[in-house]
Every structure is written in structure tokens, then in C-alpha cells.
Amino acid sequence: MTSLPLTPLLDKVRYPADLRELEDRDLPQLAREVRDEMIDAVSKTGGHLGAGLGVVELTIAIHKVFDTPNDRLIFDVGHQCYPHKILTGRRDRIRTLRQEGGLSGFTKRAESLYDPFGAAHSSTSISAGLGMAVAADLSGTDRKVIAVIGDGAMSAGMAYEALNNAGALDARLIVILNDNDMSIAPPTGAMSAYLARLASGRTYMGFRDLGKKLTAYLGKTVDRAITRAVEHARGYVTGGTMFEEMGFYHIGPIDGHSFEHLLPVLRNVRDNGQGPVLIHVVTQKGKGYAPAEAAADKYHGVNKFDVITGAQAKAKPNAPSYTAVFGEALVQEATLDEKIVGITAAMPSGTGLDKLAEIFPKRTFDVGIAEQHAVTFAAGLAAEGFKPFCALYSTFLQRGYDQVVHDVAIQGLPVRFPIDRAGFVGADGPTHAGSFDTGFLASLPGFVVMAAADEAELKHMVRTAAAYDAGPISFRYPRGEGVGVQLPERGEILEIGKGRVMKQGTKVALLSFGTRLADCLLAAEDLDAAGLSTTVVDARFAKPLDADLIRQLARHHAVLVTVEEGAVGGFGSQVVQLLASEGLLDNGLKFRSLVLPDFWMDQAKPEVMYAKAGLDAAGITQTVFKALGQAGVGVNAAG
Ligand SMILES: Cc1ncc(C[n+]2csc(CCOP(=O)(O)OP(=O)(O)O)c2C)c(N)n1
Ligand SMILES: CC(=O)[C@@H](O)[C@H](O)COP(=O)(O)O
Ligand SMILES: [Mg+2]
């Protein structure tokens, strides 16, 4: 058994009120103990490590200075909130982070009063904070609202929409820009370069001007400590910055690891001034843990690891991941077709597009956390005859939906959408589950919507998408490993709108869309063994449907079950629409549609989530037995 870190001071702090009892001089020790606690916890659970390590001092300083939870503290994305959880009554459960029944890996309203706003998708904090600041104003309270947003998150359009609005409303909102010069990958874009220039000091004001400016903003009561703090940090209140032009009072950059600098600035901002203020804080991702500080990704997201060496546990994979297969297949196609380009919204390694970037850097675009822009940027490329692969996670594509409709689909532009993380994603929970893409894409006229049943199918779909130029086309695939099928040398071009029969039976038809196919095949074994001869079909397409094949299934089977890892409104809904409109439900066919359940499923191991959703072999088999009014459990259904 490994021993827990020694944390005598932290042991006295359950809530921020306890922290506020400490002397300022105790805080560096508290920070060391919070770091040790967090490193130990994440070494056992895995999770987002680097971002939290970088905000330990900032989190402590905010709770020390502000009256949380009455004052509202919002973390953008929320992946950096582990120190906050440790300090806000959740330390006793910190080793359950991201586990089934445990703490969420993000801020979550249902979990704590100290999480006034839930997050996991980025760049929402300034908007939410502004809403809360205006609400405070309207309610006549003097509650403070603090939004902590990273430099990566600051690349999204929503952040600017909020800054723009806040400046105009002159609301009392405190934005803390946590600038660690990192997103998941190194940040890209002009804004990132601008922040780097600010942090390097080239636009700083002189000390005398600083004094004048602070007095002008904070009033005559301005604490001398604040001017000393920013001076010592080599940071000065900047003049004429973009943030000031937008109506914010801008302080910084200051050293986000120094309590001497953080506390006076926060106290002065708390007690003085009016209107929105932006404090630019410079931090280091992974701070205080050598392996994280040295890692290229600053240990953004890690598996369980050995605290001494930093070595992460890696189970030996049984098959390549879908992401890797996609990345390699895209490189293969791009090598043969120079019109192919790749687009990622700040997720080069997560989407596998880093492979394309290695070989074709000029044809690969990391646009930052900017999914809306990514989609319309791809549309522009497609309008000029290029073949853009706009590779997004299903959950993040949601943010670009109007762009998909208005800028791609209505104009019939051949943008290719590889959709990763389709379905359950395990530890990241409901905010990251890819639930809705089939529904929101298959309802769009002219869209081709595919799902890969295994990694070989994924290769076929990459090639099919590359070859298809008649309009938008998407293909979805899940997080994690493939099923271990033999991969073809190169993908084939699939016939649009044609499914494939995997196994022919006579009584029951299982019509699968995506990687639930493997469980359909297992369920079919059990059903066959129970005397229910079962057909299994891989639909491949939710749009256009293979209408002839579906008609055959409906006419020649007693039970037809659709199976997909997506919410209601997706593949099954397309199928039932076809059946209903052609009267194929009128003759006694028992039709059932298995989809994700109608609740937000918390994090757990994917197998557990499938079972809860009734989307594993057992759930499929049971659905058939129930439809036929029979009871029965098969071998594959037992688990
Ligand atoms: C809309 C959206 N797109 C992509 C992501 C994936 N993502 C999570 S954290 C992150 C990087 C955030 O960088 P930053 O805000 O600077 O925080 P840091 O990790 O550096 O502390 C990205 C791209 C997301 N959560 N939300
Ligand atoms: C916080 C966030 O949005 C990402 O870090 C996400 O957790 C990555 O997920 P994957 O591990 O599936 O790439
Ligand atoms: Mg960052």
C-alpha cells in the first residue's frame, strides 16, 4: 500500500472559510500540500493534471480573497478545477475523480455550491459570468463574479462575444486570463502571439503611468502593494491593449505563482473600481511536478502514473485506435490527392490530424478552439475545389451546427466531417459523449451520414469521403481501440446508401449503425441458440438509407431492431420514418429502436455504460425476447 502525502496544513482546510483563517504567509505551504494531494490523487485515477497544477496558487488566492460561494467563481472548461475541488469540501472524494459514482472531472452544479456553473466545453465562462454579474446588479447585491479563462479558451468566438458585451454593459465582472502559453497542444493564432507579446513586456507602461492609471481606476484608496506587486513581477498595467479597447480595465501580466503578487491585485480589484476588469496572470502548465513541466503536452491528460518517475500506465492495446487508423488513412489518401486538406480545432493529437501535419504541414490547419470557424473555413476551402476533412469530436461539432447547416449543407459544399469520440467516452462523462451527431446531421437534406462498424470500415469511409464530391459527407467512430480486424492496404470506395448483410436469418433482424455491430453479432448467437434465427445487417449509412434492404428486413422478419450509439432522433428515427411512411409497420412487424437513454449518463467504464444503456449483447437480446413476449438469457447476454 502506498502512503498518502503528508498534508498537515491542508488537513485543517475543508472549505474556503478555513483557508481564509490562515495567514498569507501560510499559503505557499498550503499550495505545496494541495499540489502533492492532487498529484497523488491523479496518479491513481488518471485525468487532467497539467492545467490544475498550473492554477494551485491562483485558486488558493481567489478563495482567500473572495467570499466564495457567495461570490461566484467560474472555471472555463473546468479541467483545471481539481485544486478547487480539494479546497471546497470534496477532498474526501478526490480519489474518485472521473470514476463511476465519483466526482466529475469538471465543474458541475449538481456537485457543489462552489461550482456555480458547469463546464467542460471551453470559452463559456465570460458569458456565464457576465450573466451572473448582471443578475447581481439587477438583484441589488454586491456579489463579485470571477471568470478564470485560459489562453487556449480565449481563442474561441464566444469569448469575444462576451468581452464585447461586457465592455458595453460596463458590468462588474472580473476576468482572470490564465496564460500558460499552452492549449492541449501549443496554442496557435494571432491572439496567442499577442498575449505572448504582452507577457514579454514590450507594451508595458512605465511605473509612474502605472501609479496614475491604477489610481484612476481603483480610486485613491489603491493599495501600494498592488503597484509593488506588478512592478516586482516585471508586469505593469498595460495601456491601449485590445482588452482596454473593448472596455475592460486591464491589469497585468502578473506572476500567477506568487502570492505576493496575486493577493494585493485581487484584494484591490475586490474592494475598488467599477466596470469589467481583466487580470492577465502568467502561469506554467504542469507547475511543480517535474515530469509534467518537462512534457511536451505538460501532462494535459494522463493515465494513472508512477509519482516518482512520472511514467504512465499503458495497457497493451489489442488493436489500433480508431483515431490512429483515421489519421493514417487520411495521410494515405492525401498522398494520392493533393486537394485533400485537414482541419482541427485545437485537437491535433486527439483527432489524429497530427499525422497529416507531420507529412503535409501546409495542408493541415489547427484553427484553435474555434469549431464554428473550422466548419465555415472548411466550407470556403470546399467552395474553391479543395477537399477539406474537418475533423472534430462529435461533442464539439455541436458548437458548429449552424455553420454546418448554413455554410455547408444548404450550399451543398463537399466538406468531409470525420467525427471522432462518437458515443460514450468513459471518464469525461456526459459533456463529452458524442450523442447527437447522427440526429442533427441526418436531418439535413443532401447530407451523407455514415458510421464505421470497425476500423477496416473506417478506412473505407475515409476513402469514400475523399472520393465523394457531390455534397457534405460525415463518418463517425468511437473513442478507443478498434476491434482488431484485418486492415486493408487501402480503403475501398463504398457505394453510397448501401448496407451489408453480415449474417442471414429468418425471424429476427438486427440492423446496426456503427460499432455496436459486434454486440449485435454476439446477441445473434444467443438468439439463434434460442431458436430465433437472426439476420444481422451493418447499415453503414443513416443517410441515404439502404431503403431496399430495410424493406426486405421489414417484410421477411417478425422483429426488427435498430441499434446505434446515439440519441433518439438518429438512425432508428430515420428507419422508422421510412417504415411508417411506406406502411411497413401496419402488418404486425415488431419494431424496436435501441438508442442512448434519455438521461445524462455520468462517467463510468464504457462497458458499464453500454450495459446501463441496454446497448450491449444482453440488452439487445432482451429487447428481442421482450418484443416477442418471451423470457430468456443467452450465453453472450449473461455478462
Ligand atoms: C469547445 C471545446 N473545444 C475543444 C475542447 C478541448 N479542450 C479542452 S481543454 C483545451 C485546451 C484549453 O487550453 P487553455 O484554455 O489554455 O487551458 P490550459 O489547459 O492551458 O490550462 C481544449 C482544446 C473543449 N473542451 N471545448
Ligand atoms: C478537457 C477536454 O475537453 C479534453 O482534454 C478532453 O478531455 C480530451 O478527451 P480525449 O482524452 O478523449 O482526447
Ligand atoms: Mg493555456
- For residue 206, the domain's CATH number is 3.40.50.970
CATH code, domain with 588:
3.40.50.920
* Ligand 1 nearest atom to the CA of residue 149, by list position: 15
Unique residue bearing C-alpha cell 483515431? 323
- Contact between residue 107 and residue 119 where contact means Cβ atoms under 8 Å apart: yes
Ligand 1, atom 11, residue with closest C-alpha: 183
pLDDT band per the 50, 70, 90 thresholds, residue 210 = low
Residue type, 3: S
Alpha-carbon gap, residue 262 to 269, rounded angstroms: 11
pLDDT score of 594 more than 60: yes
| 117, 123, 124, 127 alpha-carbon torsion, rounded to 10° | 120
Q: Is 479 in the pocket of ligand 2 (CB under 6 A)?
A: yes
pLDDT score of 600 more than 70: yes
Q: Relative to the alpha carbon of 428, which ligand is closest?
A: 2
157: its cell numbers: 468566438
pLDDT score of 277 more than 50: yes
33, 57, 333, 371: which is the annotated catalytic residue? 371
pLDDT confidence of residue 197: 85
Distance 79 CA to ligand 1 centre (A): 8
Q: Is 98 in the pocket of ligand 2 (CB under 6 A)?
A: no
pLDDT score of 222 more than 70: no
Domain edge (last residue) among 443, 476, 509: 476
Residues 290, 326, single domain; the answer is no
Lowest mean pLDDT among 5-9, 203-207, 452-456: 203-207
β-sheet bridge partners, residue 455: none
Alpha-carbon gap, residue 370 to 516, rounded angstroms: 31
* Ligand 2 nearest atom to the CA of residue 184, by list position: 5
pLDDT band per the 50, 70, 90 thresholds, residue 635 = low
Q: How does DSSP assign 413-441, residue by residue?
A: ---EEEEES-B--GGGGGGT-B-SHHHHH
Domain edge (last residue) among 436, 461, 476: 476
Q: How does DSSP assign 446-508, residue by residue?
A: T-EEEE-SSHHHHHHHHHHHHH--SS-EEEE--SSB---PPPPSSPPPPPTT--EEEE--SSE
Q: Is 153 in the pocket of ligand 1 (CB under 6 A)?
A: yes
pLDDT confidence of residue 196: 87
pLDDT band per the 50, 70, 90 thresholds, residue 422 = very high
* Span 230-243, average pLDDT: 60
Query: Could you tell which of 184, 314, 481 is best to mutate to test the pocket of ligand 2, judged by most ligand atoms within 8 Å of the CB?
Result: 184
* Span 572-595, average pLDDT: 98
pLDDT score of 240 more than 80: no
First-to-last alpha carbon distance for the chain, in angstroms, is 31
Residues 244, 124, single domain; the answer is yes
Q: Which are the contacts of 68, defined by CB distance < 8 A and separation ≥ 6? A: 16, 62, 88, 114
Residues 173, 233, single domain; the answer is yes
Q: Which are the contacts of 1, defined by CB distance < 8 A and separation ≥ 6? A: none
Residues 211, 124, single domain; the answer is yes
Q: Is 122 in the pocket of ligand 1 (CB under 6 A)?
A: yes
Assigned domain for 518 exists = yes
Q: What mean pLDDT is reported for the chain?
A: 94
pLDDT band per the 50, 70, 90 thresholds, residue 273 = confident
Peptide bond into 430 cis (omega under 30): no
Assigned domain for 486 exists = no
Is 371 among the catalytic positions?
Answer: yes
Q: Which are the contacts of 146, defined by CB distance < 8 A and separation ≥ 6? A: 62, 66, 71, 72, 73, 74, 129, 174, 175, 176
Alpha-carbon gap, residue 200 to 191, rounded angstroms: 14
Residues 268, 332, single domain; the answer is no
Q: Relative to the alpha carbon of 122, which ligand is closest?
A: 1
* Ligand 2 nearest atom to the CA of residue 421, by list position: 12
Distance 281 CA to ligand 3 centre (A): 11
pLDDT score of 113 more than 90: yes
Residues 570, 623, single domain; the answer is yes
β-sheet bridge partners, residue 302: 47
SS3 labels along 29-45: HHHHHHHHHHHHHHHHH
Q: How does DSSP assign 551-570, residue by residue?
A: HHHHHH-SEEEEEESS-TTS
Alpha-carbon gap, residue 77 to 264, rounded angstroms: 27
pLDDT score of 541 more than 70: yes
pLDDT score of 211 more than 90: no
Ligand 1, atom 24, residue with closest C-alpha: 121
Assigned domain for 50 exists = no
Residues 127, 270, single domain; the answer is yes
pLDDT confidence of residue 219: 64
Q: Is 77 in the pocket of ligand 2 (CB under 6 A)?
A: yes
465: its cell numbers: 469521403
List pLDDT tens digits, range 614-631. 999 999 999 999 999 987
List pLDDT tens digits, range 543-578. 999 999 999 999 999 999 999 999 999 999 999 999
- Contact between residue 488 and residue 455 where contact means Cβ atoms under 8 Å apart: no
pLDDT confidence of residue 235: 45
β-sheet bridge partners, residue 561: 510, 592
Is 285 among the catalytic positions?
Answer: yes
**Closest CA relative to residue 634, chosen from 487, 499, 532:** 532
Assigned domain for 102 exists = no
98, 144, 213, 285: which is the annotated catalytic residue? 285
pLDDT score of 228 more than 90: no
Assigned domain for 87 exists = no
Residues 506, 596, single domain; the answer is yes
Q: Relative to the alpha carbon of 302, which ligand is closest?
A: 2
**Closest CA relative to residue 487, chosen from 462, 456, 514:** 456
pLDDT score of 423 more than 90: yes
Residues 399, 523, single domain; the answer is no
Q: Which helix (H) or strand (E) holds 396?
A: helix 394-397
β-sheet bridge partners, residue 177: 149, 280
pLDDT band per the 50, 70, 90 thresholds, residue 198 = confident
Q: Is 51 in the pocket of ligand 2 (CB under 6 A)?
A: no
Q: Which domain holds residue 383?
A: 322-476
Q: Is 287 in the pocket of ligand 1 (CB under 6 A)?
A: no
Assigned domain for 483 exists = no
Residues 431, 469, single domain; the answer is yes
Give the number of residues written for the chain.
639
* Span 201-227, average pLDDT: 59
**Closest CA relative to residue 170, chosen from 68, 273, 281:** 273
Residues 279, 347, single domain; the answer is no
Q: With pLDDT > 70 as the criterion, what percentage of the chain qualifies?
A: 92
Residues 430, 362, single domain; the answer is yes
Total domains in the chain come to 3
Distance 218 CA to ligand 1 centre (A): 32
* Span 111-139, average pLDDT: 98
Q: What is the pTM of this model?
A: 0.95
Query: CA angle 184-186-192, nearest 5°?
Result: 110
Q: Is 341 in the pocket of ligand 1 (CB under 6 A)?
A: no
Alpha-carbon gap, residue 516 to 510, rounded angstroms: 10
| 226, 231, 233, 236 alpha-carbon torsion, rounded to 10° | 90
399, 476, 543, 612: which is the annotated catalytic residue? 399
Assigned domain for 105 exists = no
* Span 453-476, average pLDDT: 98
Q: Is 381 in the pocket of ligand 1 (CB under 6 A)?
A: no
Distance 178 CA to ligand 3 centre (A): 7
List pLDDT tens digits, range 148-159. 999 999 999 999
Is 231 among the catalytic positions?
Answer: no
Question: Between 205 and 396, where is the model more confident?
Answer: 396
Which alpha helices (H) appear in 279-370, and where do they start and end? 290-294, 322-336, 348-351, 353-359
Query: CA angle 164-377-403, nearest 5°?
Result: 70
pLDDT score of 415 more than 70: yes
Ligand 1, atom 25, residue with closest C-alpha: 121
* Span 179-207, average pLDDT: 80
pLDDT score of 329 more than 50: yes
242: its cell numbers: 485590445
Distance 183 CA to ligand 3 centre (A): 4
Q: Is 77 in the pocket of ligand 1 (CB under 6 A)?
A: yes
Q: Which are the contacts of 294, defined by CB distance < 8 A and separation ≥ 6? A: none
* Span 399-428, average pLDDT: 98
Alpha-carbon gap, residue 155 to 316, rounded angstroms: 36
Assigned domain for 38 exists = no
Query: Could you tell which of 56, 76, 122, 280 is best to mutate to test the pocket of ligand 1, judged by most ligand atoms within 8 Å of the CB?
Result: 122
Q: How does DSSP assign 46-82, residue by residue?
A: -B--HHHHHTHHHHHHHHHHS-TTTSEEEESSSTT-H
Alpha-carbon gap, residue 549 to 341, rounded angstroms: 35
28: its cell numbers: 505557499
Count CB atoms within 10 A of the CB of residue 361.
9
